[in-house]
Amino acid sequence: MAKVDLTSGNLDQVFTNSGANGGFNSTVNALAVSGTSLYAGGGFNAYRSGTYGANSANFLAKVDLTSGNLDQVFTNSGANGGLNSTVNALAASGSFLFVGGNFTQYRSGTYGANSANYLAKVDLSSGNLDQTFTQTSASGGMDSTVNAFAVSGTTVYVGGAFVTYRGGYFTPYLGALDTTSGSPK
């Protein structure tokens, strides 16, 4: 991941931290900006050559837009932090971040705790899971991968390879959900 000055085209060496220890250790599939923070999702599990406990970032990370430093509170570094598989889509709206991908758990949860089937809504500051929207049950969320988001007012549009939502709502490949409750619209 790199940050380039729009006027000069020069690489921002502070943010980018170029060299063998800079950036993520695998693909970045999605980016979202809110305030002074950049949220990244993808196939990575470490940032700036971190290992579990130091700068691990399991598929989701928050970095400072100026320094590029990892936000350890949001990212919840360590073997139990982040998601259990790839992130494909991000959308920041208000004080929350919508996360979509090929994952089924968030922060090493189990069904009833922090399961998040392909779709999650997390607090932009703490990274805590919004369990009203996400519904952490075996039938909560989508039945397959989420690849895209668009937010408009109180609606989040979700696109992907899914057919059903929350165990029964038939929404093949495209759904419209309430941004607060997650209820289908």
In a domain, 185, yes or no: no
Maximum CA pair distance of the chain? 53
Q: What local confidence, expressed as pLDDT, does residue 113 receive?
A: 56
In a domain, 72, yes or no: yes
Question: How many beta carbons lie within 10 A of that of residue 140, not counting itself?
Answer: 22
Listed in order, strand segments (DSSP E) in the chain are: 28-34, 37-42, 60-64, 87-93, 96-101, 119-123, 146-152, 155-160, 164-165, 169-170, 174-178
pLDDT one-digit tens code per residue, 101-131: 999 988 875 444 578 899 999 999 999 999 8
Q: How confident is the model over 179-185, as a mean pLDDT? A: 95
Q: How would residue 52 be classed by pLDDT, with cut points 50, 70 and 90?
A: very low
Give me the number of domains the chain comprises. Answer: 1
State the Cα–Cα distance between residues 175 and 185, nearest whole angstrom.
8
Q: How confident is the model over 57-69, as a mean pLDDT? A: 91
Q: Let me know how many helices (H) and strands (E) the chain has, helices first.
A: 3, 11
Sheet of strand 119-123, all strands in order from the earlier edge strand to the far edge: 87-93, 96-101, 119-123
pTM equals: 0.90
* Domain region containing 126: 20-178
State the Cα–Cα distance between residues 14 and 162, nearest whole angstrom.
40
In a domain, 44, yes or no: yes
In a domain, 9, yes or no: no
